[in-house]
């Protein structure tokens, strides 16, 4: 598969459309409508990275571009590990969590991170059974059918009842659904203008990964093969030459040395 989106010029035209229509500030405003919370900060919910919309990625990317070379490298290296090694070890935390178990992009974290702990246990179970479990199954089937390899079942993240709302604003599942709808409406403009081919609702590290792959001229097929090769080498020797060389290639490709 050849990339038809996420190249520099595509990102540039996405930014132009987003800036002209105020989408990036609008999405930030929507995110900030989620009431402030406190919790036990155990970091368990960041064991995985939830899906984020394309316009949320643009918000993240706008901030990301302002980081120092060292901060950028830090996020990129953790993202590469998350993307390349997660077939071997499904217990990878979101690359945006820091060493103190705090979100390094807390102010602009996606809607799904903000609303964690707000939904009812029933809704949480429904979502797990009807979406997450099936997605995991399809993912494992894909690698079994296409590459004859077995992928570990990703850890199930437990429902959290430790989130406490610290302001008095009422907030319900309907409010959450409404926020999703408003963001989806913005995302659809990028598809309508053929800036992106289809709706992009995937974890921030995957959005970032597509950018990394495009920048380093790694095609989607090549990327999948690299992941499989790395998994095979790790299973055999506990060391992967392919992982080391791919990491080096990316760091060089992004001029982060």
Q: Indicate which single residue of 94, 151, 212, 226 sits in contact with ligand SF4 (rule: CB under 6 A).
A: 94
Complex with ligand SF4: residue 207 or 226, whichever CB lies closer: 207
DSSP codes of every residue in 196-234: SSS--EEEHHHHHHHHHHHHTT--HHHHHHHHHHHHHHH
φ, ψ of residue 116 to 5 degrees: the values are -60, 130
Q: Which of 17, 39, 216, 256 binds ligand SF4 (CB under 6 A)?
A: 39
Distance of closest approach, residue 127 Cβ to ligand SF4, in angstroms: 16
Check binding of 154 to ligand SF4 (CB under 6 A): no
Taking the complex as a whole, the smallest distance from the CB of residue 69 to ligand SF4 amounts, in Å, to 21
45 near ligand SF4, rule: CB under 6 A: yes
* Contacts (Cβ under 8 Å, ≥6 apart) of 6: 196, 210, 211, 214
Element (H, E) at 136: helix 133-147
User: Using the rule CB under 6 A, which residue among 3, 17, 81, 117 binds ligand SF4?
Assistant: 117
Nearer to ligand SF4, 105 or 218 (CB): 105
List the one residue out of 211, 202, 196 whose CA is nearest residue 80.
211
Question: Given the complex with ligand SF4, which of 13 and 74 has the nearer CB atom?
Answer: 74
Q: Does 103 bind ligand SF4 (CB under 6 A)?
A: yes
Task: Name which position in 162, 169, 197, 217 contacts ligand SF4 (CB under 6 A).
Answer: 162
Separation CA 66–CA 75 (nearest Å):
13
Rounded to whole angstroms, the Cα distance separating 180 from 120 reads 17
Task: Kindly state whether residue 42 participates in binding ligand SF4, applying the rule CB under 6 A.
Answer: yes
Query: Taking contact as CB under 6 A, which single stretch among the options 35-43, 69-77, 134-142, 166-174 is the one that binds ligand SF4?
Result: 35-43
Q: Give the number of residues in contact with ligand SF4, rule: CB under 6 A.
A: 22
CA neighbor of 145 nearest in space, from 242, 228, 85: 228
Report H helices in 148-203. Answer: 173-192
Q: What value does the CA radius of gyration of the chain take, rounded to a whole number of Å?
A: 19
Positions that interact with ligand SF4 (CB under 6 A): 39-46, 49, 94, 96-97, 103, 105, 109, 113, 116-117, 160, 162-163, 204
């Amino acid at each position: 598969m050849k990339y038809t989106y996420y190249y520099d010029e595509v990102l540039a035209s996405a930014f132009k459309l987003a800036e002209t229509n105020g989408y990036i500030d609008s999405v930030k405003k929507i995110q900030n409508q989620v009431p402030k919370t406190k919790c036990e900060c155990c970091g368990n919910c960041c064991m995985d990275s939830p899906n984020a919309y394309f316009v949320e990625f643009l918000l993240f990317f706008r901030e990301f571009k302002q980081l120092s070379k060292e901060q950028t490298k830090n996020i990129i290296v953790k993202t590469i590990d998350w993307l390349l090694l997660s077939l071997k070890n499904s217990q990878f935390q979101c690359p945006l969590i820091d060493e103190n178990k705090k979100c390094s992009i807390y102010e602009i974290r996606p809607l799904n991170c903000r609303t964690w702990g707000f939904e009812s246990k029933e809704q949480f179970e429904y979502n797990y059974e009807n979406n997450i479990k099936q997605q995991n199954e399809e993912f494992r089937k894909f690698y079994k059918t296409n590459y004859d390899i077995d992928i570990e079942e990703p850890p199930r993240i437990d429902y959290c009842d430790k989130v406490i709302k610290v302001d008095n604003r009422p907030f319900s599942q309907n409010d959450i659904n409404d926020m999703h709808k408003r963001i989806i409406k913005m995302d659809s403009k990028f598809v309508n203008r053929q800036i992106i081919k289809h709706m992009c609702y995937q974890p921030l590290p995957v959005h970032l990964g597509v950018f990394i792959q495009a920048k380093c001229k790694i095609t989607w097929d090549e990327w999948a093969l690299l992941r499989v090769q790395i998994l095979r080498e790790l299973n055999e020797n506990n060391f992967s030459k392919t992982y080391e060389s791919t990491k080096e290639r990316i760091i060089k490709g992004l001029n982060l040395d």
